[in-house]
Structure 1
Amino acid sequence: MDRRTLIKHIGGVGAAAALAGCSVQEDTGDGSGSSDGESGGSTDSQGPAGTATAWYSLSESELAVREEVLSTFNEQSQHTIDGADISDLKKKTSSAIPAGEGPQIFDWAHDWAGNSYEQGFVVDQSDEVSVSLDTFTETAQSAVQYEGNLVGLPYGAETVTPIANTDIVDSVPESVDEMVSMMEEHHDPDNGQYGLAYPFDPYFTSAWLQAFGGYYFDPSAEEPLGINSEETVRGLQFALDNLAPYMPNDPNYEPQAAAFAEGNAAFTINGPWSLSGLNSNDISYEVFSFPEMSDGTPSPYTGISVWYFAKPMADGGAAAKAGRQFTEWFVTNEDHLLNLANEQGAIPVLSSLVGSSDLPAEVQAYSESAGQGVPMPSDPRMGDVWGPVENALVSAFNGDATAQKALDKAAEQIRSNWE
């Protein structure tokens, strides 16, 4: 799901926190090169210095922190990482990597793993990395492997969860019914005030479409495509009946996120990447996990953030060593990962930090919602699911089709794409 393309220019400018203590240890190739906040400085004993290219696609506030991280690494390591923020990362990697012009590493959610490996965009580095996968949560370990191949290393989890504007509401709701009542109370669209500001796209609405046992696509199911099943249709209808009436008329990310970020909505449902923008706008807010439903359970899609090993890593040269050392440092450095948790609400997947009392309350809330969630499928066929489902949701939101007809059309198009 290309959700970062949607949010790229939304986040406010956030000041990057200092990353003192995030020291770098050289990759020895013998299992001793993993690093954390206590590791020592770099040396020049491991051959020539290399320069690796790293690609990513971030919001403005995320970008400031990423640039500070790269600067810290480059100052402390014999190697250098040249970072580039790419506006259409999927298109750029798909064209550049086959032409031999791509990066050594790139950053995206785990759902690209299967398709990227099948197309030869990423390579197995299981015999090269010096970080044990046992360092990470089981979900994160699974996310970076495809058919036994280690295609990257994980550094965080993310999902969406409700956020309340505490200048508008006095407390967070304990049930979805209570949340709907509070949205209705504060909904005044004639005066530019809304009960809810919520992007209505496949990633964000997954919590409801999957709340009654529905699913988009499950490669392990007897019927892999479940987007127009009775349970999934019921979930969409629930969102149309209980959430859509209290939202701005445009279902796209930008107007929905802006309504909350400007203080014009009682609630939003958004990811940790949105918090820096709220902080810079001085919005008073409280992040909370999905409240209880009377006859269902909100089950949002969850993603694992991954540094992928791109095809150029296969040559094993100095640039590959630079990319691997940076990746191993990035995913294991506790100081840096705690900074991401505090600055951006990122959920750690490094086992030593999971459940840590050092994590802010916002991260705990996101972690609870992620625990209710469903990991996005990394099967290559999932790439054909997002677009038709997005079209269906917009059609249903705008009243151009019923939930059933919209999702029936999406299922038909997906099957056609697969054929």
Structure 2
Amino acid sequence: MATDRRKLLKMGGMAAAAALAGCVGVEEQGTPTSGGSGGSDSENSGGGSTATQTTEPAVDPGTATTWYARSSAEGETLKTVIEQFNNQSRHTVDGSDLSDLEKKTQSAIPANQGPQIFEWAHDWVGDYYQRDFLSDQSGQLSVSMDTFTDAAAEAAQFDGAVVGLPFAAETVSLLYNKELVDTPPESVSEMVDVMEEHHDPSNGMYGLGYPLNAYFMSGFAQAYGGYYFDPDADEMLGLSNDETIDGFEFILDTLVPYMPNDTQYGPQAAAFSEGNAPFAINGPWFLGTAREKGVDVGVTKLPSLEGSSPSPYTGIQLWYFAKGMEESESDAAAAREFVEWYVTNEEQLMANAESHGFIPVLDSLAGDDNLPSAVQGFSQAVQQGVPMPTHPKMGSVWGPLETGFGKALDGNMSVNDAMVEAEETIRSNWD
């Protein structure tokens, strides 16, 4: 499900502190006022009295509440960034790292107990906007949407409303352990040769760590021209298309035999981060974890299949503007200032790229030759892929897809039958 995809993420190189002071405004104090100028006699006085000077009360700078879901490494870095912002800004940001962000936002926001801003990929935009969870801030922002790449700017908008600001692109790609892999594979056949060399489950070694959830599988599931969901197609659901079935069967037949038996995120990620697999298929959020474990990580695009190219879902990371923006103007101002600083600070964005493989979507940085090699590898994978649909119906696809694939993985159903059943469940949920 979407939650599984993103409970995984650090940010280092805090050289942005100096830039913060210049980007964050300072509250001006109230100015003295009087009945006349410079303390002269009031025109309405008898000539002996002087107007009394008063000071306007300072405006409440506000406190923005933000929620996010990151891995320990990325979470610690974001805490540092928030602390720097608070130390040098008239505003305050109060951040919370939540493991159940999707559930929490869906329960808290309708009850007016949610945050002003929260962080997630763009796939919630359509659903959350139509459920009145988000706030259109298009008339309140000082940052132009032209500041970002076209794809990023589009991802942050729905029906003409600006519901967030983007800061990074992401997708899953092929990670390799440089101590075990001399040259990254360009084709699946080359990848299989390396996996075969290292796969030895009896001694705790595997060929690949690959979490089998819907987002991670999308690259190969859609490699032969298939698709999960296309709101513009005559038939929106494509899970049972022959081309999509071929992609799922490729995963089962070619990749699963080289993976740990438990296909959940934790065991698959651990196989690579503990140095027990030459390859992983994962996203930029995983870089910090693998590096902390001492793995010398390389990143390259997903390898090609014979006559086909992987097409992974890509995401744009946003700071969403939640309905809580409309509860207090001072808190909303704090939220906007933090977000606008975060998404436009080039020094900070480059630090994110260096530490975590975040792919900048600020137009001035996108495609920069100075981006780290890992980011360039993920960028190539983004170019292979397609953006996740923001259509509200997409949210009903993830769960049944994963349930169906699980039945095929366990051998309880054929892939085709499992996906036909999944589509029936999805349509029933739509109704």
- Interval containing the TM-score (normalised by the shorter chain): over 0.9
- Which residue of 248, 261, 281 corresponds with 1:249? 261
Q: Secondary structure at the match of 1:190?
A: helix
Determine the structure 1 residue equivalent to 2:47. Answer: none
Q: What is the CA-CA distance between 1:2 and the residue it aligns to?
A: 2.8
- Structure 2 CA distance, aligned partners of 1:324 and 1:89? 21
Determine the structure 2 residue equivalent to 1:79. Answer: 91
CA contact (8 A) 2:4 2:213 kept: no
The alignment status of 1:45 with 2:38, answered yes or no, reads no
The alignment status of 1:401 with 2:422, answered yes or no, reads no
Query: Quick one: which amino acid aligns to residue 277 of structure 1?
Result: T
- Structure 1 CA distance, aligned partners of 2:356 and 2:190? 28
- Structure 2 CA distance, aligned partners of 1:239 and 1:284? 26
- Structure 2 CA distance, aligned partners of 1:260 and 1:407? 30
- Structure 2 CA distance, aligned partners of 1:221 and 1:15? 39
Q: What is the CA-CA distance between 1:4 and the residue it aligns to?
A: 5.2
CA contact (8 A) 1:272 1:345 kept: yes
The runs of 5 or more residues in structure 2 that have no matched partner are 30-58
CA contact (8 A) 2:7 2:69 kept: no
- Structure 2 CA distance, aligned partners of 1:20 and 1:337? 9
Structure 1 residues 40 and 331, CA, compared in 2 at 3 Å: closer, same or farther? closer
**Cα deviations across residues 276-311 of structure 1 (Å, max 9, x unaligned)?**
111111112211112222211101111000011111
Q: Secondary structure at the match of 2:113?
A: coil
The alignment status of 1:119 with 2:119, answered yes or no, reads no
Determine the structure 2 residue equivalent to 1:2. Answer: 2
TM-score normalised per structure 2? 0.90
The runs of 5 or more residues in structure 1 that have no matched partner are 26-38
Q: What is the CA-CA distance between 1:41 and the residue it aligns to?
A: 5.0
Q: Secondary structure at the match of 2:278?
A: strand
**Cα deviations across residues 358-398 of structure 1 (Å, max 9, x unaligned)?**
21000000001001101111111111100001112222222
Determine the structure 1 residue equivalent to 2:298. Answer: 286
CA contact (8 A) 2:11 2:351 kept: no
Q: Secondary structure at the match of 2:207?
A: strand
- Which residue of 12, 19, 23 corresponds with 1:23? 19
Q: Secondary structure at the match of 1:243?
A: helix
CA contact (8 A) 2:3 2:102 kept: no
**Cα deviations across residues 331-364 of structure 1 (Å, max 9, x unaligned)?**
1111111111111110000000111122100000
Q: What is the CA-CA distance between 1:48 and the residue it aligns to?
A: 3.0
Query: Quick one: which amino acid aligns to residue 45 of structure 1?
Result: E
The alignment status of 1:392 with 2:382, answered yes or no, reads no
Determine the structure 1 residue equivalent to 2:214. Answer: 202
The alignment status of 1:134 with 2:134, answered yes or no, reads no
Structure 1 residues 110 and 165, CA, compared in 2 at 3 Å: closer, same or farther? same
Structure 1 residues 5 and 302, CA, compared in 2 at 3 Å: closer, same or farther? closer
Q: Secondary structure at the match of 1:304?
A: strand
Among all aligned residue pairs of Structure 1 and Structure 2, give the percentage whose two residues are the same amino acid. Answer: 50
Q: What is the CA-CA distance between 1:40 and the residue it aligns to?
A: 4.7
**Cα deviations across residues 187-228 of structure 1 (Å, max 9, x unaligned)?**
111111111110011000100111011111111111111111
Determine the structure 2 residue equivalent to 1:29. Answer: none
CA RMSD, Structure 1 to Structure 2 (Å): 1.6
Determine the structure 1 residue equivalent to 2:393. Answer: 381
Q: What is the CA-CA distance between 1:315 and the residue it aligns to?
A: 4.0
Determine the structure 1 residue equivalent to 2:346. Answer: 334
Determine the structure 2 residue equivalent to 1:264. Answer: 276
Determine the structure 2 residue equivalent to 1:352. Answer: 364
Determine the structure 1 residue equivalent to 2:164. Answer: 152
- Structure 1 CA distance, aligned partners of 2:259 and 2:349? 34
Q: What is the CA-CA distance between 1:6 and the residue it aligns to?
A: 6.5
